[in-house]
Structure 1
Amino acid sequence: MYRVSLGDDGAELRPLEPWRAQEFLDHMNRGREFIGRHIALADAVTDLPSARSFLQSYAERAAADTGRIHGIWVDGTLVGGVLFRTMDVRMGTAEAGCWLEPAAVGRGLVTRAARVLIDWAVEERGIHRVEWLVAAENQPSIAVAKRLGMVRDGVLRESFPYRGRRLDMEVWSVLAPEWRAAREDS
């Protein structure tokens, strides 16, 4: 297994694999209410079988080269993650996403982890466009998109039914040439 250091604060990025289902469930239980404010992950992972099934679905996506999921650990504790919910190498597109439990907020972990994932997608897999779909009311995730140098493409009005409401979803994106130019400037 590999680990990618996310800095000198004990944070690292690792694959989030099915054998980590209990650890994933424990993490989700710590952050369920916070995570569930904006994303359906908290409703999808409610017990050990659903945690295992969720991670297995991403193992299958990784095997098919259509998605990836990685956890963010700090000092050995899983505190969040980043993923490519979808990835179409032939079309050169991927949709990135993230989540964190409350104890890990405000440390730049998602931004650092997403940079690693996007670098890999652009440079290793030839992805041309990385999208970030986010509920319009999820200001922390929008702030991450901005820190990643993404551009707001528009709003999909009331496009996502969630917990009895229809949410506006913002679409943010970065193109490979923009990503590379920003990386060269930093």
Structure 2
Amino acid sequence: MFAISLGDGAELSPLEPWQAEEFLAHMDRGRDYIGRYVGLPDVAADLDAARSWLQLYADRTAADTGRLYGIRLDGRLVGGVLFRVFDTKTGTCEAGCWLEPDAAGRGLVTRAVRTVVDWAVDERGMHRVEWLVAAENTASINVAKRLGMSRDGVLRENDPYRGVRQDTEVWSVLAPEWRAARATA
């Protein structure tokens, strides 16, 4: 399996069904923190559910409709990034992330998302990368800003998350903007 260095002892590599036990242990460590804005801890409630979710992304990878990567810090799974949507026909994808609390504040998500967006734009020809985020999730909004994304708007009360309707901010970056920002960095 490949791993891409993110610097400072961090690596990005695919998450696959055979890693379900490690993934579940990671979810258990960060369940409350991750679950504040992301439903992943609810989906991966036990080993069978974790394996099923990882299999869903293995199937999406095989069908070229999604991707899933783990972020490891000093060999320990601490988070992940994904393409929840990966539509090669329209050239649009949606990136997302999650992270354990002990790994937050190190720039890991920003570096990981930058890596996968580079791949999506340069290798796969994606034209638009979207970032949908709960309006109260300041950390994730700050990632979008650091990546040079633009705020497209707000989907008001569109997501009934854990019984409460929340707003979702839509951020995006277009391939020409991504390349231009990278060229000046």
- Give the TM interval when normalised to the shorter protein: over 0.9
Matched with 2:19 is 20
Structure 1 residues 170-181: aligned runs within 5 Å = 170-181=169-180
The TM-score with structure 1 as length reference comes to: 0.99
Give the C-alpha shift of residue 148 in structure 1: 0.5
Secondary structure at the counterpart of residue 110 of structure 1: helix
Distance 1:109 1:82 in 2: 10
Name the residue aligned to 1:6.
6
Alpha-carbon separation, structure 2, partners of 1:62 and 1:164: 31
Residue type of the alignment partner of 1:4:
I
Alignment of 1:98-137 (within 5 A): 98-137=97-136
Q: Distance in 1 between matches of 2:5 and 2:142?
A: 22
Match of 2:75 in 1: 76
Match of 1:100, as an amino acid?
L
Amino acid at match of 1:161: P
TM-score normalised by structure 2 residue count? 0.99
Give the share of equivalent positions with the same residue, in percent: 71
Deviation at 1:42, TM superposition (A): 1.1
RMSD: 0.4
Runs of 4+ in 1 over 2 A off after TM superposition: none
Stretches of structure 1 that go unaligned for 5 or more consecutive residues are none
Gaps of 5+ in 2: none
Partner in structure 1 of residue 156 of structure 2:
157
Distance 2:23 2:184 in 1: 36
